[in-house]
């Protein structure tokens, strides 16, 4: 398909859609399910190791989108690195001449062990630090601090998230090294 790079043990549904493949990097142990839309703009998309994108997930926009290792996007999650200006001062539509629009482009970064619940939307310029968990149907308009749980529209901090999964990650790393010996 002409990806910038693609790792080992990558499972891509033949029902997923990929645009701008030359700007998409996919690491190892990644699964992208049916009806996902991965559309890389100018700054590209980078997908780390052990990442899963459930059905109907979308990654779209001209800004860079990074999914770090162990990210999990539940069904119908949408991540945007571009957004129209809804104020009414400008037109909103990719078919309108660019001088009539005021599209915002900003990078989106998801750290290690981030999970985003089904139906959630992440807007341009957001950083979800390592270990962030986002509840279902949340709207993420601001960056979120590491190992915290967020939910709502707009999302607010609910409580801390446990870090036990970091021990499990070490076990995966040990198992991988042992299997190579």
Q: Does domain 5-180 correspond to CATH entry 2.160.10.10?
A: yes
Full DSSP string of 8-31? SSEEE-TTSEEESGGGEEE-SSEE
What is the spatial distance between Cα 63 and Cα 168, in angstroms, rounded to a whole number?
32
State pTM to two decimals.
0.94
Question: Domain ranges in the chain?
Answer: 5-180
The 10s digit of each residue's pLDDT in 131-161 is 999 999 999 999 999 999 999 999 999 999 9
The answer to whether residue 174 scores a pLDDT higher than 70 is no
Q: What is the pLDDT of residues 88-126, one digit of tens each?
A: 999 999 999 999 999 999 999 999 999 999 999 999 999
Would you state the pLDDT for residue 176? 67
**Are the C-beta atoms of 15 and 38 separated by less than 8 Å?**
no
Q: What pLDDT is recorded for position 181?
A: 64
Percent above pLDDT 70 for the chain: 96
Which tens digit of pLDDT belongs to each residue from 38-96? Answer: 999 999 999 999 999 999 999 999 999 999 999 999 999 999 999 999 999 999 999 99
Is residue 133 within 8 Å of residue 150, measured between CB atoms? yes
- pLDDT given at position 45: 98
């Amino acid at each position: 398909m002409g990806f910038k790079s693609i790792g080992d043990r990558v499972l891509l549904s033949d029902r997923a859609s990929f645009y701008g493949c030359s700007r998409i990097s996919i690491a190892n142990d990644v699964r992208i399910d049916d009806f996902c839309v991965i559309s890389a703009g100018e700054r590209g998309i980078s997908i780390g190791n052990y990442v899963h994108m459930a059905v109907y997930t979308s990654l779209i926009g001209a800004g860079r989108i990074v999914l770090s290792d162990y990210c999990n996007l539940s069904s119908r999650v949408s991540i945007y690195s571009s957004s129209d200006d809804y104020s009414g001062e400008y037109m909103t539509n990719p078919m309108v001449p660019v001088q009539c629009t005021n599209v915002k482009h900003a990078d989106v970064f998801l750290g290690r062990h981030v999970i985003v619940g089904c139906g959630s939307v992440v807007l341009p310029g957001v950083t979800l630090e390592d270990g962030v968990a986002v509840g279902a149907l949340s709207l993420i308009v601001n960056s979120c601090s590491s190992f915290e749980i967020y939910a709502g529209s707009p999302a607010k901090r609910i409580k801390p998230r446990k870090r036990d999964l970091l021990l499990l990650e070490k076990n995966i790393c040990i198992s991988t090294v042992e299997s190579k010996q």
